[in-house]
Amino acid sequence: MLLTGSLIFVEQSGYNTLLSDTLRPFVHYVPFYSHWPEELVDVYQWAKAHPAQAKAIAAAGQAWAQRFLSDAALDCRWHLLLREYTQLLRFDPNAVEFEVGRNATHKE
C-alpha cells in the first residue's frame, strides 16, 4: 500500500515485521493504537487537519517502499538475514554424507 503514495494508518500491535526496523511512525506512516474504535477516527481527523504533513508522510512512505520493496532490496535483505542465521547454527555439513534419493548418513 505504501507504493500507492497514499497516507497509511498502521495499527501498532507490538509485533515486528521483516522491515519494521526501517519504517518510522509519523515519517512513513501514521500509527494508531487500537484500544478503542474512536482512535482510528482521531488519526483520520488529524490527517484531515494537517494536509501538508499527511502529504509529506505519504510521499516519504512511497519513497521508502520504492527503495526497500524492490526485488533486489528484498533479495539483499533475505541474504543478510540468512547469513546472520547461519552463524547461530550448530550443524556441520561436513559431518553428513548425502546421497540422491536416500536419507543422510553420518560419516565414520
| DSSP of 41-103 | HHHHHHHHH-HHHHHHHHHHHHHHHHHHSSHHHHHHHHHHHHHHHHTT----GGGEE--TTS-
Q: What is the pLDDT of residue 76?
A: 84
Q: What is the pLDDT of residue 100?
A: 59
pLDDT of residue 106: 54
Chain centroid to Cα 50, Å, comes to: 27
> Quick one: pLDDT at residue 103?
58
Q: What is the pLDDT along the chain (108 residues), one digit of tens a residue?
A: 888 999 999 888 777 776 677 889 999 999 988 777 788 899 999 999 999 999 999 999 999 998 888 888 778 878 888 888 888 888 776 777 666 555 555 555
pLDDT at 98: 63
